[in-house]
């Protein structure tokens, strides 16, 4: 008896799981402490912030699905015998997106195309050859006569997808309205009218509107992507939509793991420097001034060069391309963490310098509470808002940094799906005639979706957590 | 004042030593000269003799820190650390791995970098402040709300897209200026227009939002309330009071980046093939020329520290309440 898959735990997967568990743990802890919950309740009231949160959740779900890796069992093996496993690592997301992954064409094809983007020589049945645009193997393969049938087919599939999406959405809305009606003991009509008019604490109207848009996009794209390449195919014929979706994990991981890596150092050193002062402060200040005075890009480049040398020397240790790319991703997160912890450390030091003079810290000292306990129980909770704001604000910057670094070849592994690599390859595609624009366009759309919603969410979090801004309630 | 500056410059020395030790450690200890030689000569079929030869050519065949076989001061000076790191303090960058004089190259390539960076900074500053004033003047109206949303959207777009989009639209479709390249003298202008334009555009989102926050913070202060109570017009308050006081954080923020302008922008210069220090660095990274990367790290740190010192000095110049004696 063997499992249908052989589970693999990549290093970045493990860290990502730890991060998610930590976030869940924090959510559980915060839900039982009123003072931690208050700012979050404010975040929840912001329409724009909540709409952004819906989209972020979608990205996060895809990233999580794409972080469960295993070797699939080769087909054609009996289920209870000792099956053979494939040598290629795939993820749970790959299983869901199997049609996208397997629909491989020969080379470039435009979005919704039924023919290749370049001419090929074909043998005519009656002898002789001609140069034509050959039909795609998968894109619109079900159509007999693409020129006349394609539009109708696309419209039909879109309508079916939209219908399914709206049905699911309507069911969710109905469930929500019924639940709220029972909870608040008002009439069904009153409850629905309140939500429609935006008279609720939680901005259900914008939340549900965003959800409707997201559902429509998902429904339509699922129905279309199995029959067409909705974002075209790239040079080796891989579906660009699939690449853009796979890049989500890279972007999300770089934005979150970097923070996870740098947070312990920044928090511990920053609080210690502010609290102990004296030579400890001097030493910590020296470390972070030195590190931050090295240009970040050059430090990253230096580290990336080192890793390349290391990998070239130890080429035999990496059994699979995925493992190799994974190590490089982890290393990039580490290096980005080293270059980005200094600003948080400096902020925390400044805040703790002020806090250590406050009465409750003095009282704790007078009671003979030991220094480590003061640091952990009295100072840390009171600088939490700075940490929270920095973490959320840094995320979008890191996603953008990945694209730039991959562009100058010091980012993630070239074999790894990432928006930076897509943009990098698009440089040559833009110079072709006629130009190949779809790789660039899809990287643009997917990146903008993640970064914009992260920025909007970060704004909501900052406004709720920053005590200086707390009095002036922003209206949107 | 002078005593303060001298003290700050002296503080900079241990930091630069730290930077040097870190880069030296990264480039020579973790990654030994043998590895470097093999990397440059190709990994397979490299004879030990070829490695020795390469190291000798580049002066990497000495001991790392301590030359036990030498006499007197040579024990310290005849080492890789002294040759490659200590000399940087005298801005003696030595030769690149491909044999060119790094100091000369930096001198040559500094000007194109500045030709892009200075106009981008100045015009960008002007535009950002204007937009921010406009948005702040209409605070808490739809203009403000949509202004901020547009800013957030603009800063959510990667700089790479601004460059690619600009090149495509202005050079390829409209044929207004060349896509990339550089020329000497005044002929350079037509090559500079697009990079400067793209640089300004990609900075608007971030800059406007940041300056708007400064203006709003300033407009919540007591002196603004006093001015309003006196019955001054809103426009007068905006220009005479808020703008002038807000210029303090804005200008000190600009001073920090001034020295870094020399380094140029890595991405812009490589996209537009401008022979500045940014593209110099990128080329070095891609060719794995460690000597150049090391020099640029040192130069970058020096400029960063100069920026910090200039910031402190500029605080005293624009705000007489700040004293530097402490």
CA distances from B309 to A270, B16, B18 (A): 23, 14, 18
What residues in A contact B155, CB-CB < 8 Å? 455
Residue B22 touches partner A, C-beta closer than 8 Å? yes
What residues in A contact B305, CB-CB < 8 Å? 293
Greatest mean pLDDT range, A318-327, A442-451, B186-195:
A442-451
The predicted pLDDT at position B64 comes to 66
What residues in A contact B290, CB-CB < 8 Å? 305
The predicted pLDDT at position A475 comes to 38
Q: Which of B31, B267, B304 sits opposite A306 (nearest CB)?
A: B31
Average pLDDT of chain A to the nearest whole number: 84
Subunit contact B156:A451, Cβ cutoff 8 A? yes
* pLDDT exceeds 60 at position A469: no
The predicted pLDDT at position B324 comes to 59
Provide mean pLDDT across the span A204-210: 88
Report pLDDT digits (tens) over A83-132: 577 777 888 888 888 888 888 887 888 888 777 777 777 777 777 777 77
Rounded to an integer, what distance in angstroms lies between the CA atom of residue A200 and that of residue A177? 12
For chain A, which residues lie within 8 Å of any Cβ of chain B, measuring from their own Cβ? Answer: 286, 289-295, 297-299, 301-303, 305-306, 308-309, 312-313, 396, 400, 403-404, 407-410, 419, 423, 426-427, 430, 440, 444, 447-448, 451-452, 454-456, 459, 475-476
* pLDDT exceeds 60 at position B279: yes
* pLDDT exceeds 80 at position A455: yes
**Residue of A346, A186, A360 lying closest to A267 (CA atoms):** A346
**Residue of A151, A242, A148, A153 lying closest to A438 (CA atoms):** A242
Provide mean pLDDT across the span A125-150: 76
How do beta strands A120-123 and A90-91 pair? Answer: unpaired
Percent of chain A past pLDDT 90, that is, above it, reads 21
Rounded to an integer, what distance in angstroms lies between the CA atom of residue A149 and that of residue A155? 10
Q: Which of B167, B263, B286 sits opposite A295 (nearest CB)?
A: B263
Contacts for A308-313: CB closer than 8 Å, 24+ residues apart: A308/B288, A309/B31, A309/B35, A309/B36, A309/B39, A312/B39, A312/B43, A313/B35
Q: pLDDT band for position B127 (50/70/90)?
A: very high
């Amino acid at each position: 008896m063997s499992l249908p898959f052989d589970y693999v735990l990549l290093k970045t997967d493990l860290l990502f799981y730890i991060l998610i568990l930590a976030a869940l743990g924090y959510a559980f802890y915060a839900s039982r402490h009123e003072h931690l919950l208050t700012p979050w309740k404010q975040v929840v009231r912001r329409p724009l912030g909540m709409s952004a949160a819906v989209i972020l959740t979608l990205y996060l779900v895809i990233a999580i699905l794409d972080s469960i890796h295993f070797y699939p069992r080769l087909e054609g093996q009996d289920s209870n015998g000792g099956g053979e496993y494939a040598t290629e690592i795939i993820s749970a997301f790959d299983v869901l997106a199997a049609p996208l992954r397997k629909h491989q064409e020969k080379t470039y094809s435009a979005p919704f195309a039924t023919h290749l983007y370049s001419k090929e020589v074909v043998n005519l049945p009656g002898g002789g050859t001609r140069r034509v645009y050959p039909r795609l193997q998968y894109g619109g393969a079900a159509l007999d006569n693409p020129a006349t049938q394609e539009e109708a087919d696309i419209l039909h599939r879109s309508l079916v997808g939209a219908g399914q999406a709206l049905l699911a959405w309507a069911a969710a809305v109905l469930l929500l309205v019924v639940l709220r009606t029972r909870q608040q003991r008002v009439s069904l009509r009153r409850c629905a009218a309140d939500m429609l008019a935006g008279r609720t604490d939680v901005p259900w109207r914008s939340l549900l509107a965003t959800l409707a848009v997201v559902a429509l996009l998902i429904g339509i794209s699922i129905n279309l992507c199995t029959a067409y390449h909705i974002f075209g195919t790239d040079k080796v014929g891989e579906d660009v939509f699939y690449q853009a979706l796979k890049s989500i994990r890279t972007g999300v991981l770089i934005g979150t793991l970097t923070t996870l890596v740098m947070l312990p150092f920044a928090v511990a050193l920053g609080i210690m420097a502010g609290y102990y002062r004296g030579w400890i402060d001097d030493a910590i200040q020296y470390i972070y001034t030195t590190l931050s005075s090295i240009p970040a890009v050059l430090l990253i480049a230096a580290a990336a060069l080192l890793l390349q040398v290391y990998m070239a020397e130890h080429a035999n240790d990496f059994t699979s391309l995925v493992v190799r790319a994974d190590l490089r991703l982890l290393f990039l997160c580490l290096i980005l963490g080293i270059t980005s912890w200094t600003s948080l450390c400096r902020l925390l030091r400044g805040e703790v310098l002020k806090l250590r003079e406050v009465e409750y810290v003095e009282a704790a000292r007078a009671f003979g509470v030991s220094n480590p306990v003061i640091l952990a129980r009295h100072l840390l909770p009171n600088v939490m808002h700075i940490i929270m704001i920095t973490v959320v604000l840094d995320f979008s910057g890191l996603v953008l940094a990945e694209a730039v670094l991959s562009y100058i070849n010091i980012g993630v592994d070239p074999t790894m799906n990432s928006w930076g690599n897509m943009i990098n390859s698009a440089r040559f595609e833009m110079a072709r005639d006629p130009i190949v624009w779809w790789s660039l366009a899809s990287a643009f759309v997917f990146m903008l979706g993640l970064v914009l919603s992260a920025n909007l969410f970060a704004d909501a979090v900052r406004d709720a957590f920053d005590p200086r801004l707390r009095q002036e309630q922003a209206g949107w | 004042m002078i005593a303060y500056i001298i003290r700050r410059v002296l503080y900079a020395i241990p930091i630069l030593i730290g930077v040097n030790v870190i880069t030296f450690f990264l480039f020579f200890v973790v990654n030994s000269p043998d590895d470097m030689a093999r990397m440059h000569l190709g990994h397979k079929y490299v004879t030990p003799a070829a490695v020795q030869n390469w190291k000798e050519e580049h002066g990497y065949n000495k001991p790392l820190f301590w030359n036990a076989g030498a006499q007197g001061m040579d024990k310290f000076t005849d080492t890789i650390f002294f040759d490659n790191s200590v000399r940087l303090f005298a801005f003696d960058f030595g030769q690149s791995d491909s044999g060119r004089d790094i100091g000369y190259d930096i001198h040559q390539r500094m000007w194109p970098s500045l030709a892009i960076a200075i106009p981008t900074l100045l015009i960008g500053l002007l535009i950002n402040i204007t937009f921010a004033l406009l948005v702040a003047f209409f605070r808490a109206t739809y203009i403000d709300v949509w202004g901020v949303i547009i800013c957030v959207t603009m800063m959510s777009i990667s700089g790479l897209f601004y460059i690619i989009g600009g090149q495509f639209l202005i050079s390829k479709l409209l044929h207004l200026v060349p896509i990339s390249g550089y020329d000497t003298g005044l002929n350079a202008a037509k090559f500079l227009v697009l990079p400067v334009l793209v640089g300004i555009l990609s900075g608007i989102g971030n800059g406007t939002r940041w300056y708007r926050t400064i203006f709003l913070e300033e407009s919540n202060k007591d002196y603004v309330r006093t001015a309003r109570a006196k019955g001054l017009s809103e426009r007068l308050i905006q220009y005479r009071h808020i703008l002038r006081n807000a210029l303090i954080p804005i200008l000190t923020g600009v001073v920090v980046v001034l020295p870094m302008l020399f380094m140029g922008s890595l991405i812009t210069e490589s996209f537009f093939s401008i022979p500045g220090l940014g593209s110099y660095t990128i080329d070095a990274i891609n060719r794995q020329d460690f000597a150049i990367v090391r020099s640029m790290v040192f130069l970058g740190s020096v400029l960063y520290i100069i920026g910090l010192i200039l910031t402190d000095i500029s605080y005293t110049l624009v705000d007489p309440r700040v004293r530097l004696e402490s």
